[in-house]
Structure 1
Amino acid sequence: MPNSDALATVDPDVHEAIEAERRRQESDLDLIASENHVSRAVLEAQGSVLTNKYAEGYPGARYYGGCEHVDRVEELAIERAKALFGADHVNVQPHSGTQANMGVYFATLEPGDTILSLDLTHGGHLSHGHHVNFSGQLYDVTQYGVDPETGYVDYDELAELAAECEPAMIVSGASAYPREFEYDRIGEIAADVDAFHLADVAHVTGLIAAGVHANPVGSADFVTGSTHKTIRAGRGGIIMTDEEHADDVDSAIFPGGQGGPLMHNVAGKAVGFGEALEPEFEAYAERVVENATLMAETFIDRGLGVVSGGTDKHLVLVDLRDSHPDLTGDDAESILESVGITVNKNTVPGETRSPFVTSGIRVGTAAATTRGFGPDEIETVADRIVDLLDRPDDEELASTVSAEIDELCADNPIYE
């Protein structure tokens, strides 16, 4: 961990809050699908002197002097991303996955253009056109969904909607869709209506890098993502495209949507990408998917509704409406958090409750796998989750499970 002696002296309040969060992460089990635990090396890079440096522009073409060392850091991040994903052009400056999407929209669309994207309650993301987000305020949005019987994207509906609304862009990708997208098929649908195809792989960057998930690079016109979920690099975003669109994308990020890049974050990306190039990362990604598959199977065996009947990736979407009709996603999140298991409430296909309440929970295995959880631990945790949802008022059970989670986490520390 970065040295915090100075912080403890200068600002004990912030120091204590950080220490409390460190203790929480060590003692609680993180099953939030969008979170992970980075290495000490990534932490050190992100807490480095690079936070002092302005570097508006791109390597070799900055608007500030003294950038020779940060140029090298950004070049390393780009080179490593190209090696991981097979991309022709990479921009590692977006501050988040949402800003990566913004960069692609600004590079290709005009206000009022139509975007065709996955409905939020069916697993989509705010930045794909939700009305509270800039994307839904600037663009005309039509949304496709999943088949209510199978839980899979309905590609026939997608093709019909594309023919009807003639979008300028079709977005694939999601924050709570447990299956792989058929990127080639979406690309064909986009080509049929002369639309761009943006594949947002925010949740599966690490799985793609490891070769355990379909890779849309080379198929989609643009690929965006987060760099901190399944890939364990510095928090932020990334855009990948071909040379034809490279200048437009770069200009849309800087100066179009951002000022100076956060070079300490870029350094964290470079380090995390370098770690993902090591052979052991593939084994890690395989375990993530295996753990999620086991989690889904255990839930199903215990009577929980699992959207699409399983998962192809790192997350399981649980629909509580049939098994626990009186229990909301918000209730479930609170019950589990009380014993040291963190998940997030989540909308499910056909949702009728508020997104602040929801009828489901999203459960992920990336962070738990990072700290060493394997099949035995995952099956135990999945069983305990169902026990708690079945008996939410059983204080003795809650106490027992809390102690069990403490022991599992102690046996698998994040930072030894």
Structure 2
Amino acid sequence: MMTTSKFDATQLPATLVRGTPAYGKAYQAFAEVLYRTNILSDPWLYGEERFLLEPILISETQQQALYTAAEAIGKVYDELAELVWRQPDYLDTFFGLTPYQKLMWLTSGGRWHFIARLDVFEEHGGGIKICEMNSDTPSGEAEAVLLNDLLHKRVPHARNPNANFEDTFITALLAAYHADVREPKEKPTIGIIYPTDLPEDLSMILLYKSWFERRGFTVVLGSPLNLRKTKNALCLFSQPIDIAIRHYKTDWWGEREPVWLDEEDYPDPYPMHRELLAMLEAEEEGRVSVLNPFGAVLTQNKLTMAFLWKYRAAFSPESQAAIQAYIPETHRLVDMDIETLLCEQEKWVLKSDYGCEGAEVIIGKFTTPTSWKLSLEQAIKERWVAQRFFEAECLKRGGIANFGVYLIGGKACGFYTRVSHTATDYTTPCAAVFIDSSIN
């Protein structure tokens, strides 16, 4: 059972400086409370503190600007999905999807969204930039919700933007379920499908499980290998499920291919044929709601950002303006002049099509010329994009805030914020964000 009642954020020192004995003592007390949640069990990662005890305070205007940008790009991606659905030739001619990736997209009906998280930055000198969107298996929900809950008393005058995340999530999930299946039940059984051999997102899985069980839902946890289809149901182990929360990346369901010329083949490169077909067939029969839908195989692909720039004229005027304002200039690497990228190293960032959490991201400004040149030589160019580097605004206390804005059903509903000095990755510490109406 989750409990945070023994932690009193008001007892923290007024000024907290990381690395000092006072901070270490305060963090130890904080870590003990995290353990007692029975959800977050990793307050340290590789010996470093995973969480910041000093919240970030932003104004109502800042929150609205960040939310507006995220929602605008969500609408852009909805247009992109509709455009590619009408013109499926792009799957081959622009995106180069594999056969099983195309299967996922073509059986989705163009549906791609239930929950997404966008990496949103305030730009130095003004403006907002969104460098990517995780529309496939967005994580960080446990950190976002629990950290804000624990630290809210430290700034009681401020508003918690994540306070309604749980209710918003549950309401939207049940609405999607009722829209997807032919004979919805009052209490559907929920299966959470995730890579059981990887612990990184276990806290999110446990948080979801606690939310559902508190409302009386039956919850089953398992990996894709535990799926099977019967005549009348999709089963996880032997339990029929009605909602499949898919926290297993779309590019792992299909063919797994290297993104580097000198990279070894995956030990398990073949698609999950049986498991994928079980999901797709049950979904097609209206027996299960899959969230996020498998159509996220397209929107998760970072080549979409290059598509937005190359085919801006095909989008609505509102979306064209949003692309120009919020998405950094992005091109497929195969369309770029390599000599230009070598000469303008500090102006560009390389990203693979399905890399996540900072993996397969090479920032020219923070990379040696030798590594940059080698990356350009060894990258399988059809699988990469080059995105123009932008200077993010630094916080007054130091570091750059990656305001991860969650969208549920296209509406912004909270932050998962990490503070870094270079690129954001899994080790980047998390910070609570609160809205202070006294800030102009």
TM-score by length of 1: 0.29
Q: From the two aligned structures, give the one with the greater helix fraction.
A: 1
Q: From the two aligned structures, give the one with the greater strand fraction.
A: 2
The structure, 1 or 2, with the larger RCO (C-alpha pairs under 8 Å, 6+ apart) is: 2
